[in-house]
Structure 1
Amino acid sequence: MKISTKILILFLTLNFLSCKGISQEKETEKTRTEIHFSDTEKSSIPKPIGIINDYGQIFTELQRTELSKILYDYDIETSRQIVVVTVDSIKPYNDIQKFATDLGQTWGVGTAEKNNGLTIVVCKPCRQIGIATGTGTELILTSEICKKIIEEKIIPDFKNGEFYNGIKIGVIELIEKWK
């Protein structure tokens, strides 16, 4: 198969999968009527643009593509969804964990039936990272496991300015622990 044909197939697959995420978000919003945020908090949650939401612009295009492939392949294989978000600020929030949790709930990360999403939020200027899990996910990926992965796998690379490598290693470790 020619390389251009492979690239076209990959592009169409990624395009199809990004549409899946949008329709899933709308379905989830219908079933989540009990979420209560203040208007200020709700307005600070950005709109999703895909499985990688690099609002903080810390990844190159190649890095976004590589990480997207890892996350999309995992989603297709397991129906578990991991979303990575980079931001320049978490205001009006003070706690990145609360921000990550509210963002994951607002976006409907994971499937509504299984609540099996995981949201990773990085705020480079704030020097903070948070991992929020859906209720179905936290049965396996506990707060302790997520904290350990942040401290032992992600932060060492962050300290060296290697944000992409830290996130990639962290994602791979989370996938391994989620089996």
Structure 2
Amino acid sequence: MKKLLLLFIIVLFLPNYSSAQTKPDPETIFAKSYDYVNDFEKIMSPSQAKSLGDFLKASETKTKSKILIVSTSSISPYTDLTEYSLDLDKYLLSKLKVDTSILIVISKQLRQIQVQGVDKIRIKMTDEEMKNIISTYVVPELKKGDYYKGLQLGTEQLIKKIE
């Protein structure tokens, strides 16, 4: 009887342990290198991505703040863009030694955008001001389908705030 009870307990609880979620391995999810503009979803033409990247690189020299843009069609195995963005930011800093001041993650497929800044940016711009810039300059252009113009206008405004 004891063996039957033990077998029943093992069968009952074993599936819970085997299907428990573990934290995804960033090195298998994220790219091995990142530049100022990382258009993995191909929402811009190559010349637009280069132009925006050149603009961000030049602005980093003036502001001493690095803005990084990542477009992605999938955040799998994540279910939340915020969590994906936070882990990407940690990965960039810990594994690739890329210290971003502002990270913009956008997904046309998911119809979402996530912008996050480090604490040193909050001295010059509040989260509310950042959100206002995104909703005023970026989102209207995204709705029109012009991702390049939206990101260009948004980054210009962000740079003006942190100069």
TM-score bracket for this pair, using the shorter chain length: 0.7 to 0.9
Deviations 1:81-130 (A, max 9, x none): 00010001112222222222221221129xx8xx6611001111000001
Equivalent residue runs for 1:57-68 within 5 Å? 57-68=42-53
Gapped regions of structure 2 (runs ≥ 5): 1-21
Shift, 1:38, TM fit:
1.9
Q: How many residues align?
A: 139
Task: Give the percent of matched residue pairs that are identical in Structure 1 and Structure 2.
Answer: 27
Higher Cα radius of gyration: 2
Q: Which amino acid aligns with 2:83?
A: K
Equivalent residue runs for 1:13-162 within 5 Å? 38-40=23-25, 43-108=28-93, 117-162=101-146
Shift, 1:49, TM fit:
3.1
Q: Distance in 1 between matches of 2:131 and 2:81?
A: 13
Q: Which amino acid aligns with 1:122?
A: I
- Structure-2 residue corresponding to 1:174: 158
Shift, 1:40, TM fit:
4.4
Is the CA contact (8 Å cut-off) linking 2:68 and 2:100 kept in structure 1? no
Q: TM-score, normalised by structure 1?
A: 0.70
Cα distance change, pair 138–103 in 1 and its aligned pair in 2 (3 A): farther
Cα distance change, pair 116–74 in 1 and its aligned pair in 2 (3 A): same
More relative contact order, 1 or 2 (CA 8 Å, 6+ apart): 2
Q: Which amino acid aligns with 1:99?
A: Y
Deviations 1:50-73 (A, max 9, x none): 111110111111101210111010
Q: Distance in 2 between matches of 1:107 and 1:175?
A: 21
More deviation in 134-143 or 160-169?
134-143
Is the CA contact (8 Å cut-off) linking 2:104 and 2:116 kept in structure 1? yes
Q: TM-score, normalised by structure 2?
A: 0.76
Gapped regions of structure 1 (runs ≥ 5): 1-36
